[in-house]
Amino acid sequence: MAEVILEIKDVNRTYYDDDGGKVVALKDIGLSVKQGEFVSFIGASGCGKTTLIRLIAGLDEPESGKLLLDGKEIVGTSPQRGYVFQQGGLFPWRTVEGNIKFGLQVQGKKDKTKVQHYVDLIGLSGFEKSFPHQISGGMAQRVAIARALINNPEVLLLDEPMGALDSFTRADIQDKLLELRAEHNTTMLLVTHDIDEAIYLSDRVVIMTPRPGKIQDILEINIAHPRDRGSSEFLTLRKEILEKLQFASVAPQPEYTI
């Protein structure tokens, strides 16, 4: 049995605007994630998926509740929690190689062999000296993933990194994520709007309600890899998740106060 690596305990997050308005983004979120598990968060826009990922990354703090990694409370950012943004967030003045090795440099490390290993791993050999504007969007996202993985993070946080890609490139990166996970046993958490993507990649799918963001349901995806998107099991799960999302969308409406 894999051990629990990440614990989210009764987490709440509220935002306030300049006029004194209050928006409850997350309410009473509780979840445990095991080592090496792939968990996807799915739900309508504004349901708090990205807010939760940012809290785990240490880019934001909960209003109440705790987030624990290896039993220690998460405070601030750390290379042990790699983050891949929706648009990759590559440094335009750095090459593919330079972007990947950035994670090592901030820790004062130099390891050309390791950098080359990750270039090869993401299938970009020959593009080491290329700049972000010289490569495709799919290549750029692979670079962003390699940059996050090079420090061997315990958790890789993926905030819709494939949202803007075409279907073929998206499928390629999905398979690459599964390969990387198999090689490193990295725990991966994904924010997505794509039901098929969630089923294809995940061990569990967490369905969230619109604001206030709550966990509506958690589905186990008990389909062996490699998964066939056209199989009866896959399509049955797709229908079930779609129905649960529709149910979640008619849950109590957002909590706004002025």
Query: pLDDT band at residue 1, thresholds of 50, 70 and 90?
Result: low
**pTM exceeds 0.85 for this model:** yes
Give the number of domains in the chain.
Answer: 2
**50 shares its domain with 102:** no
Query: pLDDT band at residue 98, thresholds of 50, 70 and 90?
Result: very high
pLDDT of residue 87: 73
Q: Which of 125, 152, 179 corresponds to the end of one domain?
A: 152
pLDDT of residue 251: 43
Region 155-182 average pLDDT:
89
Q: Which domain holds residue 188?
A: 4-80+155-257
Cβ-count burial of 62 within 10 angstroms (0-12 exposed, 13-18 middle, 19+ buried)?
Answer: buried
**91 shares its domain with 25:** no
**161 shares its domain with 243:** yes
pLDDT of 255 > 60? The answer is: no
pLDDT of residue 249: 61
User: Any idea which residue has 């598990």 for tokens?
Assistant: 37
* pLDDT top residue among 88 and 26: 26
pLDDT of 253 > 60? The answer is: no
The percent of residues above 70 in pLDDT, for the chain, comes to 95
**125 shares its domain with 241:** no
Q: What does DSSP assign to residue 47?
A: S
pLDDT of 231 > 70? The answer is: yes
**72 shares its domain with 159:** yes
What CATH number is given to the structural domain containing 165? 3.40.50.300
Q: Which of 152, 179, 206 corresponds to the end of one domain?
A: 152
**58 shares its domain with 99:** no
* pLDDT top residue among 2 and 159: 159
Cis peptide before 79 (omega within 30 of 0): no
pLDDT of 257 > 80? The answer is: no
The tens digit of pLDDT for each residue in 104-138 reads: 887 777 788 889 998 998 889 999 999 999 999 88
Distance CA 11, CA 55 (A): 9
Using alpha carbons, select from 187, 180, 183 the residue that is nearest to residue 203: 187
**64 shares its domain with 102:** no
